[in-house]
Structure 1
Amino acid sequence: MSISLLAFAAALAQDAPPPRTPNDPIDEAPESAWTEIAADDLMVMDVGGKRVVIQLNEAFAPTHVANVKNFARNGYWDGGSVYRVVDNWVTQWGNGGNPLYADENKPLPEGAVENPPADYARPAGSVNVTPLGSSDSFSSMAGFDNGWPVAVHDDGTVSPTYCYGYVGVARSADPDTGTGSELFAIIGTPARRLDRNYAVIGRVVDGMENLSAIPRGTDTMGVYAEGQAQIPIEVTMMDALPEDEQMRFKMMKEGSASFAEYVYLTSHNLHYGRGTSGSDICSVRVPVRKIEEEG
């Protein structure tokens, strides 16, 4: 008895393995596909007693990041707080909510640079961009540089991108660049309009929920109103913690075969059933894993 083409195709589909998901290359990636993030590039912030870990990116904002490390190591944010939270926008913290500094900024610690350069982008020739493979609405090409999402622009520069969980430097009106004393994290829709306008100093790699799932400010521009309890912060660097309290993280190498497959699968989502033609850069989050202690 002959079998119809339709039935034959159905039989083949039934026997075919399920499409691979973006989690598959992450779970299967060999150790050679990962690189450990240095402890002195990890800033630890307790937000109301809950931990947030931020990976710093010195390559694109060296002076701002140097300032931030200085502040974290020297207790500059003692008495600081989360004082502004805007739904689908930002959580902001620093000393700006401390009434002791309502009329003047807190003096910077020794060695901090008061007016950092506008390190919002780098010359394209100074980076080696791995293309995303999809178009980008905000630049001529999006891709990755040393594990960070970036945008390549027609003027010959490359900038980091303001995606969910990325941390930037608050500042006054241009040409002020901010010192890094007041920081914010994107807690909603990617804020790509900030690209090349505000310094990106890093991204949250652990504890993002402790910045995104907190009360929104009810005063102007999301500042906590009188009577709203500001959330205290304590900030240090990972390598300044006792060894038994330190956390370790590894990041997937963008030059690995595992990363290439992860980007492809995340961009096309074949496991959904109806695949997509591509993806924006902020939807392809570079895999970062906590290293669990053995034994």
Structure 2
Amino acid sequence: MKRFSKLTAVAALCATIPAFAQEVKTYPAPGEIIAAASAREWVSIAPADLLVMDLAPDTAGKPRRVVIQLMTAPFSQGWVGNIRKLAAAKWWDGTAIVRVQDNYVTQWGDPTEKKALPDGLAVVPESDYSVSKKQPTGGWTAKTMKSTAPKQKGEYGLSQPLWGWPIGQDASHIWPTHCYGMVGVGRNLSPDTGTGAELYTVIGHAPRHLDRNIALVGRIIEGMEHMSSLPRGTGALGFYEKDEERVPILSVRLGHEAQDVAAFEYLSTESASFAAYADARANRRDPFFISPAGGADICNIPVPVRRKLSK
């Protein structure tokens, strides 16, 4: 009887504790933060900044479209300019995906390496792999470069999303980083920097050793599954050894010249919602997680991109 009285007393005491003191604080998951972001925090991507690649249909006859957002200033504009000229000349029509190396890249271009390039392509110097922090670019200066992500130990805080792109930096320069889905320019040995005719996308663990060694010109924002799920090449470096293994490219056009292209937008990396999203990616505290990591690699904080919602 005495034991029962003690339990009753404890229950009565708990009943007197305010309800708010018994509540456990919950944290939204990254996806929930994105879903709750206001319309004004999303930035439209201009159709002219899209590169639309249509591959031959798959074995079931389904169309395969890959949409690439081209890199914006101040990065890689010499190569991006070449890519615009190549698309306008319809140069990629009839070319193919030539290489798929597991946990590395999918690459496309002219399998014969003999197709004539259009006139007027720029020869871009290696110095353009990065941008000096002292270089004024469209109102940007080093003083205006601010991270929306909390600074943590390690790389997080040294690399950051900026202007909607994953960016690395040191004391003097900034540069785009080789994250999953990023698109780069194939090249031969230095001092060659590539024209933009040979392109690749990262389909595996981020090969950050390529940063500042190869030009990055954009990222795939839709249709990545058509690049990452292809059969791996059996030749050296994943090159296809037979013509029938290659996936034909039907056409590549800039977004404002292609048919039936959706409108896209990305979550501003200067917005409050992105700051909350970046923190949530670095410190997972939603119910599934037990121990927040306290940091994240830049490539594990992908900038959210979506089809533009209709009004």
In structure 2, the partner of 1:29 is: 37
Moved more, 121-130 or 144-153: 121-130
State the AA in 2 paired with 1:43. Answer: L
Distance between the aligned counterparts of 2:244 and 2:37, measured in 1?
46
Inter-CA distance 273–3: structure 2 relative to 1 (3 Å threshold): farther
Distance between the aligned counterparts of 1:13 and 1:34, measured in 2?
37
Distance between the aligned counterparts of 1:203 and 1:8, measured in 2?
57
Helix, strand or coil for the counterpart of 1:159? strand
Larger radius of gyration: 2
Helix, strand or coil for the counterpart of 1:64? helix
Distance between the aligned counterparts of 1:142 and 1:187, measured in 2?
21
CA contact (8 A) 2:131 2:173 kept: yes
In structure 2, the partner of 1:208 is: 224
Write out aligned runs for 1:85-104 (5 A): 85-95=100-110, 97-98=111-112, 101=113
In structure 2, the partner of 1:123 is: 132
Inter-CA distance 24–89: structure 2 relative to 1 (3 Å threshold): same
1:16 pairs, out of 13, 20, 24, with: 24
State the AA in 2 paired with 1:45. Answer: M
Match status 1:261 vs 2:279: no
CA contact (8 A) 1:130 1:144 kept: no
CA contact (8 A) 2:105 2:203 kept: yes
Helix, strand or coil for the counterpart of 1:40? helix
Distance between the aligned counterparts of 1:284 and 1:218, measured in 2?
32
- Please report the TM-score for the alignment, with normalisation by the length of structure 1: 0.88
Match status 1:53 vs 2:59: no
In structure 1, the partner of 2:266 is: 251
2:294 pairs, out of 268, 272, 277, with: 277
CA contact (8 A) 1:42 1:55 kept: yes
1:119-146 superposed Cα distances (whole Å, 9 cap, x missing partner): 2100123454332423455x98111221
In structure 2, the partner of 1:223 is: 239
- Please report the TM-score for the alignment, with normalisation by the length of structure 2: 0.84
Distance between the aligned counterparts of 1:144 and 1:82, measured in 2?
30
Helix, strand or coil for the counterpart of 1:2? helix
Inter-CA distance 58–256: structure 2 relative to 1 (3 Å threshold): closer
Inter-CA distance 192–51: structure 2 relative to 1 (3 Å threshold): same
Distance between the aligned counterparts of 1:158 and 1:8, measured in 2?
58
TM superposition shift of 1:188? 0.4
In the alignment of these two chains, the number of paired residues is 282
Match status 1:196 vs 2:212: yes
Identity percentage of aligned residues: 37
State the AA in 1 paired with 2:272. Answer: A
CA contact (8 A) 1:270 1:276 kept: no
1:162-202 superposed Cα distances (whole Å, 9 cap, x missing partner): 00000000000111100000000000000100000000000
Write out aligned runs for 1:1-12 (5 A): 1-2=9-10
**Structure 1 unpaired stretches of 5+:** none
Match status 1:77 vs 2:95: no
CA contact (8 A) 1:140 1:152 kept: no
TM superposition shift of 1:6? 11
1:31-65 superposed Cα distances (whole Å, 9 cap, x missing partner): 11011000000000112230110000132101100
In structure 2, the partner of 1:239 is: 256
Inter-CA distance 276–45: structure 2 relative to 1 (3 Å threshold): same
RMSD, aligned CA: 2.4
CA contact (8 A) 1:169 1:182 kept: yes
State the AA in 1 paired with 2:238. Answer: G
State the AA in 2 paired with 1:251. Answer: Y
State the AA in 2 paired with 1:284. Answer: I
Match status 1:111 vs 2:120: yes
In structure 2, the partner of 1:162 is: 178
Helix, strand or coil for the counterpart of 2:275? helix
Distance between the aligned counterparts of 1:5 and 1:193, measured in 2?
61
1:69-125 superposed Cα distances (whole Å, 9 cap, x missing partner): 111121111221001000000000011x13xx4xxx422213222x22222100123
Inter-CA distance 189–14: structure 2 relative to 1 (3 Å threshold): farther
